[in-house]
């Protein structure tokens, strides 16, 4: 494997599977193995940490094109700095911080914040139904679609800070508070209380409007 090349293309935006998860206790060892040219170690890092990178990028509400560009840039930067990481075990925090930095660079260059839907935020009803399935499940599907639409609507009514925090926290595997802090610039000690306040606000909005 050539570390200097942009290695993320082959794994761009692929669905996450639990089998590809990285045990964060082993991240440092994987980083060192990748530095030594172990392609399997690099693949494990990319597949396991991509959900965190995507959650940070999506939290900044970039367009799909800009989000993909930032995602590619983050992994390219990571490959460039792989052998110079002072604390390889904290690669997730490095990736989160870089994703935030690159996202803000794009936002600054555009002079605006572009809204975009996040297909990974909430489970959606599959659009790949056969005609027979559509007939049988149309009422249930319509009700579920409406429920999700209302939940999304109430989520969008939260402030930017809450939306960003909850998006990042929804990454799988869940990010550490250090990674969330690096991603959003929030003090580690403030993350838990802020998360609780945001969830209470979301629940209050849902209850007040009978959205679910």
For residue 26, the model assigns a pLDDT of 84
DSSP assigned state of 33: H
| Residue pLDDT, tens place only, 153-188 | 888 888 889 989 988 988 877 888 999 999 999 999
- In 3D space, the residue among 63, 90, 76, 60 whose CA is nearest the CA of residue 168 turns out to be 60
pLDDT above 50: residue 116: no
Residue 93 corresponds to which tokens in the numbers above? 């925090």
Cβ–Cβ under 8 Å, residues 98 and 74: yes
Helix axes 39-59, 177-184, angle to 10 degrees: 60
Distance, in Å, from the CA atom of 174 to the CA atom of 168, rounded to the nearest integer, reads 8
| Residue pLDDT, tens place only, 57-113 | 999 888 888 899 999 999 999 998 998 888 998 999 999 999 999 998 888 887 543
- At the topology level, CATH places domain 131-209 in Arc Repressor Mutant, subunit A (1.10.10)
Q: State the CATH architecture for 9-110.
A: Orthogonal Bundle (1.10)
Instruction: Give the model's confidence band at 127: pLDDT under 50 very low, under 70 low, under 90 confident, else very high.
Output: very low
Distance, in Å, from the CA atom of 179 to the CA atom of 41, rounded to the nearest integer, reads 21
Residue 126 corresponds to which tokens in the numbers above? 């599959």
Residue boundaries of the structural domains of the chain: 9-110, 131-209
Distance, in Å, from the CA atom of 50 to the CA atom of 136, rounded to the nearest integer, reads 37
Q: Quick check: pTM over 0.85?
A: no
Burial 122-134 (b: 16+ CB within 10 A, else e): eeeeeeeeeeeee
Distance, in Å, from the CA atom of 127 to the CA atom of 124, rounded to the nearest integer, reads 9
Instruction: Give the model's confidence band at 203: pLDDT under 50 very low, under 70 low, under 90 confident, else very high.
Output: confident
């Amino acid at each position: 494997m050539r570390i200097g090349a942009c290695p993320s293309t082959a794994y761009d935006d692929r669905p996450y599977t639990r089998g590809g998860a990285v045990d964060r206790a082993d991240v440092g060892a994987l980083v060192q193995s990748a530095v030594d040219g172990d392609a399997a170690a690099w693949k494990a890092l990319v597949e396991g940490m991509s959900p965190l990178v995507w959650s940070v990028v999506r939290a900044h509400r970039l367009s799909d094109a800009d989000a993909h560009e930032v995602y590619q840039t983050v992994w390219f930067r990571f490959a460039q700095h792989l052998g110079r990481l002072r604390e390889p075990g904290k690669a997730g925090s490095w990736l989160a911080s870089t994703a935030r930095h690159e996202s803000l660079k794009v936002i600054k260059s555009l002079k605006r914040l572009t809204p975009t839907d996040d297909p990974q935020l909430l489970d959606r009803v599959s659009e790949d139904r056969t005609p027979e399935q559509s007939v049988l499940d149309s009422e249930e599907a319509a009700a579920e679609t409406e429920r999700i639409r209302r939940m999304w609507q109430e989520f969008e009514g939260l402030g930017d800070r809450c939306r960003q925090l909850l998006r990042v926290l929804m990454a799988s595997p869940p990010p550490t508070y250090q990674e969330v802090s690096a991603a959003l610039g929030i003090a580690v000690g403030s993350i838990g209380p802020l998360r609780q306040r945001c969830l209470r606000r979301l629940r209050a909005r849902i209850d007040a409007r009978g959205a679910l």
